[in-house]
Amino acid sequence: MIKRFSNALIPQKLTLLLLFLLLIATHDCVSAAFIRKLNVQELVNKSNGFNVNFTTISAINAEEPQHPNDSLNQEIVILANQVAYNLDGPKTAMIKHRRALPGILKFELLDAATQKPVFSGKLGKAEQVADWDLENWYSPVDFTAFHQPGVYKIQLIVQDKKYQSYNFKIGVQAIGKIGIPAMVNFFNHQRANSKEELAADKQIRLFGSDQTVNLQGGWCDASGDISKYFSHLAYTNYMLPQQIPMVDWSMINTVEQVPDLLGEMNIKAKLEEEALYGADYIMRSLSPEGYFYMTVFSYFDKDPNARRVVGLLADSKTTSDYQCAYREGGGVAIAALARISKWNKDGAFSSAQYLAAAERAFSHLQKFSTLYADDGKDNIIDDYCALMAATELWMATGKTVYGDQARKRSVNLKNRLAPEGYFIANDANRPFWHAADAGLPVIALARYLDIEKEQLHRKMALQTIKTALDYNLKVTHQVINPFGYARQHFLYRGKVKDGFFIPHENESGWWWQGEDARLGSLAAAAIVGGRLVYPDKGPLGVKPELAIYASKLVSWILGSNPYNMCMLYGYGHNNVPYMSSMYGHGSGKGGISNGITGKDGKEDGSGIDFKVEDHGNEWRWSEQWIPHTSWFLQAVTAMSANPDY
């Protein structure tokens, strides 16, 4: 927002502005990171016209880091979830230190308002993560046993010097109560609804043709990319993420899983409206032939008329291969339409039209999906995407043809399990690893089990989920891993390896980035799948190992990570810098940034890295991406839902 004042009113307006910012800074739902973006001297210097752009001005708060990484320039740093912990769930943080700490130290939990201790405990064993660095030690903090709502901070006293974390909330469904409204607002912000986009997309040309189609609507892919994708990386065959259709399915899922919580927060109608908006875009993306158009690409060109419907290769090379296979967004698009059709609510299209379109698209892809796939054959991504499509159609129609196809795909997933417990992505030896959708096979199977009643098929699907979750826990804890970061196996230069982060040398030739979507998907899978195969009366309705696993992944995203960075933009204390984009788009409050990666330059993904500046390549870490937010929504929804036993 830009404000313009006359020169005569500058002192008065500046005083009022600073008072206003001080008031905002005391509000518990507004990020101090936003306040730090204001530079007083810059305001004074702009007396001629007095322009204040709240999204581009920089920091002044002397008590907060001037740079996102400045908080790490201490001997001891307390790395906590900077937003919220659920009252009854696992609650952990980490002490990062460069030297051995003296004796057996105790931490204290302080009431943030009174600064008085309310809980104390011993630090856990200090450990180093050899794969990351040998300069820092990490000592865990566990205050799971504390059960009092409020706002708190962690304090550690070492040789009479006090070290404190940032404030955070503890409360009933606290993560959901803060996170879900934030993400709903973010997706509304991501709508491709500028006048430039609406005008261009109403008659957008198909690549290599003069034919035009109406593809108005949908969500911009990222804070730095206003293109719209059902999926991308199709040419890699094994790395494709599910994008706009998965966002929509996630919204529908949240509406159905936590309706009471949404009602309590008075956002249920808003989320339903956003989901219907997404379904309408999916409808417009369905071609007369029965396939979905994959990508509306901007070419990063300021001219909106440069936009085209395309297939996308590396280096922004475009083709006419824009027909979605199951794995290229088609399967999840069908699933979203079929699922939302059961609401009996109309958007721009009717619920009957949503269902009819889903059935027509499924029939088409049953015949042509492998023709549209780049290598001409199904792999694991086709299996779990087609499983989602068949499952939702089975639920919406009751037709056995969809049940038969769902069972077939469920069996396919079972048969893809390697003896080590991970899935095989192809028909040979490539482990399934995924930077965004690693938990989606389990989520798809869990959804299938919501309708499957036949005991043999239930038993097989449950065993597949159990094997996958057992593997996730095992590979994560095979090495020293104090943060509980989700590890995986991958194929690197012909050999199967395991590691923390995805390999930078992969089928794409260039694409690697922070993996917050992967973490969100695995957290959701641990809870949703865990409630089926490892139910427990404890927190989150799953056995403690899975509850801790999921909670640590969520806390990593919210700030309990080696870089002390909260990836939920506009919340917590340390956020990535603002990223601008065309037509008024850019970073949105409530969106999730890419996150932390393996070391830049390490092709196998080893080491650890996070950069807020990198000569234009900082997008790998700081850019918001709708799959990250979509999967975080699913994880938070799972944490907020009440298990039913």
Q: Rounded mean pLDDT of 94-116?
A: 94
pLDDT value for 391: 99
The CA-based angle 507-510-516, given to 5 degrees, is 90
Q: Which of 34-43, 203-212, 256-265, 440-449 has the lowest mean pLDDT?
A: 34-43
Q: Rounded mean pLDDT of 501-515?
A: 97
Q: Rounded mean pLDDT of 580-599?
A: 97
Say if residue 11's pLDDT is above 50.
no
pLDDT value for 414: 98
| Residue 54 banded pLDDT, cuts 50, 70, 90 | very low
CA distances from 231 to 66, 198, 239, 279, 457 (A): 37, 21, 10, 16, 30
Say if residue 372's pLDDT is above 60.
yes
Say if residue 451's pLDDT is above 70.
yes
pLDDT value for 69: 62
Q: What is the mean pLDDT of the chain?
A: 90
Q: Which of 27-31, 186-190, 384-388, 394-398 has the lowest mean pLDDT?
A: 27-31
Q: Which tokens go with 413? A: 């997933």
Residue 500, φ and ψ in degrees, nearest 5: -80, -45
pLDDT value for 67: 58
Q: Rounded mean pLDDT of 556-569?
A: 98
pLDDT value for 68: 57
| Residue 504 banded pLDDT, cuts 50, 70, 90 | very high
| Residue 6 banded pLDDT, cuts 50, 70, 90 | very low
* pLDDT tens per residue across span 291-334: 999 999 999 999 999 999 999 999 999 999 999 999 999 999 99
Contacts of residue 20, defined as CB under 8 A and 6 or more positions apart, other chains included, come to none
* pLDDT tens per residue across span 17-48: 444 444 444 343 333 333 323 333 332 232 22
Exposure of 497 by Cβ count < 10 A (0-12 exposed, 13-18 middle, 19+ buried)? Answer: middle
The span from the CA of 363 to the CA of 306, in Å, is: 33
The CA-based angle 180-186-187, given to 5 degrees, is 95
Q: Which tokens go with 121? A: 């405990």
Say if residue 133's pLDDT is above 70.
yes
pLDDT value for 277: 98
Q: Rounded mean pLDDT of 627-632?
A: 98
Percent of residues, the chain, with pLDDT higher than 70: 89
pLDDT value for 72: 80
| Residue 64 banded pLDDT, cuts 50, 70, 90 | very low
The span from the CA of 187 to the CA of 519, in Å, is: 19
Q: Which of 57-61, 196-200, 579-583 has the lowest mean pLDDT?
A: 57-61
> pTM, whole model, 2 decimals?
0.90
The span from the CA of 314 to the CA of 235, in Å, is: 8
pLDDT value for 99: 87
Dihedral, 50, 54, 60, 61 alpha carbons, nearest 10: 130
Cα 98 to chain centroid distance, Å, stands at 31
| Stronger pLDDT, 440 or 7, i.e. the higher one | 440
Q: Rounded mean pLDDT of 161-189?
A: 97
pLDDT value for 538: 86
Q: Which tokens go with 82? A: 């900077």
| Residue 102 banded pLDDT, cuts 50, 70, 90 | confident
Exposure of 188 by Cβ count < 10 A (0-12 exposed, 13-18 middle, 19+ buried)? Answer: middle
Say if residue 16's pLDDT is above 50.
no
Q: Rounded mean pLDDT of 161-184?
A: 97
pLDDT value for 644: 59
pLDDT value for 74: 86
pLDDT value for 73: 81
The span from the CA of 248 to the CA of 272, in Å, is: 10
What is the rounded radius of gyration, in angstroms, for the C-alpha atoms of the chain?
24
* pLDDT tens per residue across span 141-155: 999 999 999 999 999
